[in-house]
């Protein structure tokens, strides 16, 4: 039980640290809907399950042995972050459309698409890959009990999805949405700039010697 709590505690530090996932959830909760933000939060939780499963299978050892694989992961993550950044920047001046809920769901692809966007954003972040791999490699015992292997993935889902659901609920409230409506262009460009900077940083780290 102590090992399980230690792993979840270490992961929680990374989860609550602002990054691409946080920016995405805030933007979806503000610009689309509370439902979309919560759906994306569930996608983040599924991404956490993917990372937890890979870490339990020894992802850290694989990345250490196959440097090209880690490079590919970083470049793919950078490409996705830059794609999000361009989309945010180009749509910054578009007004928020006030339309019926069903129309909003159709326009944004619905609940499933929001889940997919959250999942794709989570798994495209190589920093999260390394955090999970490192935490599990450092804290998981050499011969973990079966109950721990079974319990960790759903607990990780609760941790990731729970935190980002709180974020989505907070930023979809009336006052944050009103503030966003008044400063949409600035906020979207700032979010796009953050996403783009993170993507460029990954590319620089990938091509930097050593």
Q: Is the pTM of this model over 0.95?
A: no
SS3 call for 33: coil
pLDDT (tens digit per residue) in 11-31: 887 787 667 788 888 888 887
Looking at residue 163, its pLDDT comes to 92
- The low-confidence residues of the chain, meaning pLDDT below 70, are 17-18, 58-67, 69-70, 73-74, 77, 80-81, 84, 95-109, 134, 137-138, 142, 177, 180-181, 195, 198, 209-210
Q: How far apart are the C-alpha atoms of 114 and 102, rounded to whole Å?
A: 14
* Residue of 137, 133, 23 lying closest to 70 (CA atoms): 133
Q: How far apart are the C-alpha atoms of 138 and 56, rounded to whole Å?
A: 12
Q: How far apart are the C-alpha atoms of 48 and 168, rounded to whole Å?
A: 17
Q: Checking phi first, is residue 3 left (phi over 0); if not, alpha (psi -120 to 50) or beta?
A: alpha
Q: How far apart are the C-alpha atoms of 190 and 198, rounded to whole Å?
A: 12
User: Domain-by-domain residue ranges, the chain?
Assistant: 33-207
CB atoms under 10 Å from CB of 62, counted, come to: 13
């Amino acid at each position: 039980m102590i090992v399980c709590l230690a792993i979840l505690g270490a992961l929680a530090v990374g989860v609550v640290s602002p990054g691409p996932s946080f920016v995405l959830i805030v933007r979806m909760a503000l610009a689309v809907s509370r439902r979309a933000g919560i759906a994306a939060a569930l996608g983040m939780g599924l991404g956490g399950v993917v990372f937890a499963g890979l870490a339990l299978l020894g992802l850290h050892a694989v990345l250490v042995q196959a440097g090209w694989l880690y490079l590919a992961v970083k470049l793919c993550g950078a490409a996705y972050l830059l794609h999000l950044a361009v989309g945010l920047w180009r749509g910054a001046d578009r007004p928020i459309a006030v339309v019926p809920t069903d129309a909003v769901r159709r326009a944004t692809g619905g609940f499933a698409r929001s889940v997919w966007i959250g999942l794709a954003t989570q798994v495209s972040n190589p920093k999260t890959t390394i955090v999970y791999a490192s935490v599990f490699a450092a804290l998981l015992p050499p011969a973990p009990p079966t109950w721990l292997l079974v319990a960790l993935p759903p607990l990780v889902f609760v941790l990731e999805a729970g935190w980002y659901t709180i974020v989505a609920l907070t930023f979809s409230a009336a006052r944050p949405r009103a503030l966003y409506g008044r400063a949409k262009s600035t906020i979207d460009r700032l979010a796009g700039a953050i996403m783009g900077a993170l993507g460029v940083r990954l590319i620089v780290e990938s091509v930097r010697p050593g």
